[in-house]
Structure 1
Amino acid sequence: MNILVFKTNIDNMQKLASVNNSFSEISEINHWSVDMEDIDNVLRIETSGNILESNIIDLLGDIDLYCRDLI
């Protein structure tokens, strides 16, 4: 299992729903969460596959969300 952690601008339920729609199509994502109370709106993803940080950054960028590697 891999854990990816990102700083994002996911700060409301509409953005969260957009992420959910995008991630629901990726079978390698086992679990993900966003801490919208954190100043960095931390996105944490647990994967079972070979998903790269750049794949997540590009995917969220495609739906106009900010996402940068936190670790």
Structure 2
Amino acid sequence: MTGFTLDLDDSQFEQVKSQLVAKYGAGKLDDGMKDEQCLYRNGANFKVTSGTKTTQWRQHVSPTEEGIDLAD
């Protein structure tokens, strides 16, 4: 496998991440989440969180392992 992408809510993300961390280690986290205050003209405000979190795991393989077909 070269990679995959999942679109998860926060609780699903944490569950999948904990399973991957248990098997492959911590990985490299890139947390691009940002909080922004939105203000109404009457002075009321609220916070909006947006962005993405990604975690990347890499495993280097030898040139001979690159050609192995795991489907067999």
TM-score past 0.5 threshold: no
Highest RCO, 1 vs 2 (Cα 8 Å, sep ≥ 6): 1
Larger Rg, first or second structure (1 or 2) = 2
Q: TM-score, normalised by structure 1?
A: 0.34
Q: TM-score, normalised by structure 2?
A: 0.33
